[in-house]
Amino acid sequence: MKFTKKSHSCVRLEKDGRTLVIDPGIFSEEDAAVGADAILITHEHADHFSEERLRAGLEANPAAEIWTLKSVADQISAAFPGRVHTVGHGDTFTAAGFDVQAHGELHAVIHPDIPRITNVGYLVDGRVFHPGDALTVPDHQVETLLLPVMAPWSKISEVIDYVREVKPQRAYDIHDSLLTDLARPIYDNQIGALGGSEHLRLTPGASAEV
């Protein structure tokens, strides 16, 4: 399938003429969901979930639908009647011709004083895994890990250990809007040298075959 990196944690996957978009949030492009046949949302934080981005995508394609967890579905089901599907850990479904498995239940800990919200990752066609804001390890071999490389809830040692635990063939950076260009070589070098998997990075708008 074709993988296109959008800004921050938003990605676009394409195969057989159909398009799946994951996590079009406020840090991603205004048209990030336009052209999508299906949209997946991992959790309710604004950098992963923007109702404006969703509306643009659903208005552009009246047949497009959304799959997400209950906390997001409760917010948008009335706005998009009949087009929102609620999923949770262990669920499997087909979206725009892609086979999807849901993995995980909770967002990573930001601080003990901040209540944890729900979060679900998506394994697409048994090959590409987007964990959202958690270091979830799916019970399935992953070829391509979409790696949350920098976040308020993580440090680089945890990111490296996550790659080691998942053991993907390759890891592409996502969740990178807070990472400056000055710091990127440090992350590239350390994750690449210590993670044990091929470590890759695309600029927003660039694509690769996965």
Q: Comparing C-alpha atoms, which of 58, 60, 50, 45 is closest to residue 29?
A: 50
pLDDT computed for residue 163 by the predictor: 98
8 A C-beta contact, residue 32 and residue 46: no
Q: 30 Cβ partners below 8 Å, 6+ apart?
A: 52, 53, 56
pLDDT computed for residue 104 by the predictor: 97
pLDDT computed for residue 48 by the predictor: 98
Question: What is the tens place of the pLDDT at every residue in 29-72?
Answer: 999 999 999 999 999 999 999 999 999 999 999 999 999 999 99
Question: What is the tens place of the pLDDT at every residue in 9-25?
Answer: 999 999 999 999 999 99
Q: Which amino acid is at 52?
A: E
Q: Comparing C-alpha atoms, which of 188, 155, 148, 205 is closest to residue 28?
A: 205
Architecture of the 2-209 domain: 4-Layer Sandwich (3.60)
Question: What is the tens place of the pLDDT at every residue in 154-187?
Answer: 999 999 999 999 999 999 999 999 999 999 999 9
**What mean pLDDT value characterizes the chain?**
97
**What percentage of residues in the chain have a pLDDT greater than 70?**
100
pLDDT computed for residue 43 by the predictor: 98
Q: Which two tokens stand for residue 32?
A: 């990030």
8 A C-beta contact, residue 190 and residue 159: no
8 A C-beta contact, residue 60 and residue 43: no
Cβ atoms within 10 A of the Cβ of 103, count?
Answer: 21
**Residue 90 region by backbone torsions, left for phi larger than 0, else alpha for psi between -120 and 50, else beta:** left
**What letter would DSSP give residue 109?**
P
